[in-house]
Amino acid sequence: MQKDSNSGAPGTHSPRLRRRRGSNEVPGEVVKANGAHMLVDDRNKYKSMLIRLYSTLWMIGGFAFIIYMGHLYIWAMIVVIQIFMAKELFNLLRKAHEDKQLPGFRLLNWHFFFTALLYVYGRILSQRLVNTVTSDKFLYKLVSKLIKYHMVTCYFLYIAGFMWFILTLKKRRYKYQFGQYAWTHMILIVVFTQSSFTVANIFEGIFWFLLPASLIVINDIAAYIFGFFFGKTPLIKLSPKKTWEGFIGASITTIISAFLLANIFARFGWLTCPRKDLSTGWLDCDPGPLFKPDYFTVPEWFPSWFPWREISVLPVQCHAVWLGLFASIIAPFGGFFASGFKRAFKIKDFGDSIPGHGGMTDRMDCQMVMAVFAYIYHQSFVAPQNLSVEMILDQIIMNLNFEEQQLLYSKLGQIIQDKMFGES
């Protein structure tokens, strides 16, 4: 029996809280009926808050350093995060007793993981790898061959894993083995679907990775702070500690932050420049009209004490507001989904790799949702839809060998020459 904390009179007993047999709800996380409880009143939470703050500062510091190092280092960070997430999710349904009867079976999961890693990043980064080695004829031919046979290589690696799985099937272990096989494939879909969009955002310009990721961090921190000090009204049963006060306070903070951060990040050219190769050099480019200010004259009816008569706004700041809206209203549902998932398996966190935060998967739940939206938004509303000279050249370098490029060059030269003489 659980007692209602609001019954103050001696001898008064709270009604019995019934829970259906077989329910997946975690016992002991019952939200109080009148919503009067606030986390700030619970002194034991301050220790947890300090641990969480310490870890957060370390993560933000490390994240800022990697951002400063550039595109390739950010990509490496994404790969490390994926490995941690896969490890946590592989262990979620793992049964030590069954694994002892299946030597080498756990290695099969990682075989599928690294096959997927090779396939996804081979597809995303192949063009940039070609651009990196174009000046070296030998490396160019070698890379061209690797890219040409990339898909068939990944396919046969997968088939090798498939055959490995079939050959290791053991009697009385079929259900566990097939369950692990399906679970592994679901993990690969979850981990690599979002990461492919994340890496694509990075190479479109660090700005399109940094801003969405920062908004999720800001939303998470603001929700925790507002909920800690002002939270009274429960938001959703899946996450009893989340409150409407925290949700609303975090939403307002995130949208304002999106507008301001976009202006700050846009001032750094190396954040806005896309990376066309896999080099690590410093980038400098024309930022484009999105990152150049538009000026608006303040209406005459504005009060005289208002210090500015002209306001400058970057067009990208308007796009940032939409990203802020999504980060504050929709992306948190990734966290709610993860909470429901953890309740289904009766666990508190996916792991314990980050003190005060749980596992890497616990930090990436909302980021996964946000990364996909940021990529789709960028491709739909920001990226130019018409073909450019750079896009055509990329396709030529990627899909034509050296002899075909020479033939195209001579034919294009002949066409231009015919036009010039035709016009004269």
Local confidence band at 423 (pLDDT 50, 70, 90 cut-offs): low
Determine the Cα–Cα distance for residues 59 and 213; give it in Å rounded to an integer: 13
Question: What is each CA distance from 136 to 399, 403, 407, in whole angstroms?
Answer: 17, 15, 20
Q: What is the pTM of this model?
A: 0.76
Q: Which of 219-233, 281-295, 297-311 has the lowest mean pLDDT?
A: 297-311
The answer to the question of residue 284 being in a domain is no
Local confidence band at 186 (pLDDT 50, 70, 90 cut-offs): very high
Residues 6+ apart with CB under 8 A from 371: 194, 195, 197, 198, 201, 212, 213
Determine the Cα–Cα distance for residues 208 and 213; give it in Å rounded to an integer: 9
The pLDDT of residue 422: 67
Domain boundary among 204, 222, 246: 204
pLDDT at 38 over 80: no
The answer to the question of residue 35 being in a domain is no
The answer to the question of residue 336 being in a domain is no
Taking residues 226-244, what's their average pLDDT?
A: 86
Contact 312, 294 (CB under 8 A): yes
Q: What is the pLDDT of residues 363-413, one digit of tens each?
A: 788 888 999 999 999 999 998 766 667 778 777 776 777 788 888 888 888
Determine the Cα–Cα distance for residues 259 and 10; give it in Å rounded to an integer: 54
What percentage of the chain exceeds 70 in pLDDT?
86
Question: What is each CA distance from 177 to 171, 191, 275, in whole angstroms?
Answer: 10, 21, 43
Residues 6+ apart with CB under 8 A from 317: 259, 262, 263, 266
Residue position matching structure tokens 């566990």: 176
Determine the Cα–Cα distance for residues 100 and 102; give it in Å rounded to an integer: 5
Determine the Cα–Cα distance for residues 62 and 60; give it in Å rounded to an integer: 6
Determine the Cα–Cα distance for residues 324 and 222; give it in Å rounded to an integer: 13
Domain boundary among 143, 176, 204: 204
What average pLDDT does the chain have? 83
The pLDDT of residue 310: 83
Contact 251, 330 (CB under 8 A): no
The answer to the question of residue 263 being in a domain is no
Contact 315, 237 (CB under 8 A): no
The answer to the question of residue 423 being in a domain is yes
Quote the number of domains for the chain. 2
pLDDT at 306 over 90: no
Domain span at residue 79 reads 70-204
Q: Supply the DSSP symbol for 283.
A: P
Determine the Cα–Cα distance for residues 393 and 416; give it in Å rounded to an integer: 17
The answer to the question of residue 178 being in a domain is yes
Determine the Cα–Cα distance for residues 370 and 218; give it in Å rounded to an integer: 13
pLDDT at 281 over 70: yes
Here the tokens at position 332 are 């948190």
The pLDDT of residue 212: 95
Does residue 138 or residue 354 have the better pLDDT? 138
What one-character-per-residue DSSP string does 104-173 give? THHHHHHHHHHHHHHHHHHHHHHHHHHHHHTT-HHHHHHHHHHHHTHHHHHHHHHHHHHHHHHHT--TT-
At residue 202, what is the residue type? I
The answer to the question of residue 34 being in a domain is no
Domain boundary among 157, 175, 204: 204
The answer to the question of residue 252 being in a domain is no
